[in-house]
Amino acid sequence: MSLDSLEELVSFCKRRGFVYQSASIYGGLQGVYDFGPLGVELKKNIKDAWWKSMVYMRDDIEGVDAALLTQKHVLKNSGHEDTFSDPMTDCKVCKKRFRTDHLESDKCPSCGATELTESREFNLMLKTNVGPVVDEDAFAYLRPETAQGIFTNFKNVLDSASPKIPFGIAQIGKAFRNEITPKNFIFRVREFEQMELEFFVEPGTDDTWHEYWVENRLKWWEDQGVPRSSLVLEHQTADDLAHYSKATVDILYHFPHGLEELEGVANRTDYDLGSHSKEQQDLHLSATVKTNEESCAKLIVQPQNNDPKKYVPFVIEPSAGVERAFLAILSEAYTKENLADGKSRVVLKLKPHLAPIKVAVTPLAKNKPELVNLAKEVVQKLRQSISGRVALEAGGNIGKMYRKNDEIGTPVCITIDFESIESDVQTVTLRDRDTMEQTRIPVSELPQTIAKMLS
């Protein structure tokens, strides 16, 4: 059995230290969440898995970390100032605001009144003042996406790393959107992290590369424990496409609250580099690209075959939210099992590389110094050989320790008992999270055995 509801997952996340409501002691801040001791580990492991697949396992992708504060001209020329908005309507009775496209009827979802204002566009970007003088020109935006920092650094990366087309630039970082109605826990929030790749290709090869990256991303989600059977591909229609997109495929997931977007893979054409380039008029780029008087950069490349005709690359963009990945992976892993003894357990069947705690070590009796000391020695030995957290449990009730670590997704538990210190060869008991099978091995074999179990 899996989750019964989103509320069950929200309760679990708070109880076990995955996610908290931000500023909860003051009543909270809507659409903003904090990640607890286990949540920050799972979140980091998701980002590490993405970065490894995108950057470390490839020769054609470089990484950047651009600033959160974004100069206003960047988002003017990218089209965000004019188009980055959602339709909004107000209830004239209760005064609450809603996204028009999220209303299921012409009634207020809060009070049921039918007196609603006409729909109008609401820009989602957050402004902040820059410098000591507050005026209409001294401001910047908190970036609404990480992509523009990649595009404005395209020439810097091209000049410093000398990559050849096709190549990509990857980035993981915070983004901010002033959502009208944040909802569904961490699915739609005002502050979030994105994992974005901008993959630059020669015009004419973009359709093939678009298909390639859709398949690549499906495989990655499978590797994180989200099977294809839980995913749906949706090709956006012309009416739904963003202003920069030639084609977009949304990867949808059956979240606890319904089928919604997990990741988007867009063909952004030459729109972005063209928008930030002084050269777009001379190179006869697509008609959607507008003149940029503030930029003098030449965001162009020369073909490798000595063809004198330069061009602005097309861009394929796989873009996923860390919080949505977190929610999908947690939902997929959350499992309720009935055991042979008539009892039940909750087990978080995370892939080992994503588990917040890799190994838990516990002495059978916490009041026996010889057991506790050996447990500490084992922990230190494993911390030197394992990438990730190795936890020392307080000891005591071994059954409760197993159930707790099942629930938080710890792949392996190690018990130090009296046999561990009484035998000629120090041995410990290993317990597998998923099968609950227990085996006894010498302490000297722990590093290689644990490494095999975690792989």
Output the pLDDT for position 1. 67
Side by side, the strands of the sheet bearing 438-442 are 389-392, 357-363, 412-416, 427-432, 438-442
Output the pLDDT for position 172. 98
Instruction: Return the structure tokens found at 132.
Output: 């000591």
- 71/55 Cα distance (integer angstroms): 27
Q: List residues bridging with 315 in a β-sheet.
A: 200, 269
pLDDT at 135 over 90: no
First to last CA, the chain: 26
Output the pLDDT for position 297. 61
Q: What is the pLDDT of residues 186-210, one digit of tens each?
A: 999 999 999 999 999 999 999 999 9
In sequence order, what are the residues at sequence separation of 6 or more whose Cβ sits closer than 8 angstroms to the Cβ of residue 244? Answer: 79, 266, 268, 269, 271, 272, 288
In sequence order, what are the residues at sequence separation of 6 or more whose Cβ sits closer than 8 angstroms to the Cβ of residue 431? Answer: 402, 412, 413, 414, 415, 437, 438
pLDDT at 251 over 90: yes
Per cent of the chain over pLDDT 70 is 94
- Range 5-23 average pLDDT: 96
- Report CA-CA distances (Å) from 133 to 74, 117, 168: 21, 37, 39
Instruction: Give the predicted TM-score (pTM) of the model.
Output: 0.90
pLDDT confidence of 279, banded at 50, 70, 90? Answer: very low
pLDDT confidence of 293, banded at 50, 70, 90? Answer: very low
Angle at 71 between CA 68 and CA 73, to 5 degrees: 140
CB 115 within 8 A of CB 79: no
pLDDT at 281 over 50: no
Whether the bond between 166 and the residue before it is cis, its omega within 30 degrees of 0, is yes
Output the pLDDT for position 42. 98
Angle at 34 between CA 197 and CA 62, to 5 degrees: 20
Q: What is the pLDDT of residues 411-447, one digit of tens each?
A: 999 999 999 988 888 999 999 999 999 999 999 999 9
288 or 315, which is more confident: 315
Beta strands in 156-238 (DSSP E): 167-176, 191-201, 231-235
pLDDT confidence of 364, banded at 50, 70, 90? Answer: very high
- Range 156-185 average pLDDT: 94
**What domains does the chain contain, in order, with CATH numbers?**
40-70+130-330 (3.30.930.10), 355-454 (3.40.50.800)
Helix, strand counts (H, E) of the chain:
13, 22
Instruction: Return the structure tokens found at 295.
Output: 């930029």
Mean pLDDT of the chain: 91
- 405/378 Cα distance (integer angstroms): 18
- 364/384 Cα distance (integer angstroms): 23
pLDDT at 109 over 90: no
Q: Characterize the bridge pairing of strands 427-432 and 412-416.
A: antiparallel
Angle at 392 between CA 329 and CA 25, to 5 degrees: 60
DSSP secondary structure, 231-251, as one string: EEEEEPPTTTS-TT-SEEEEE
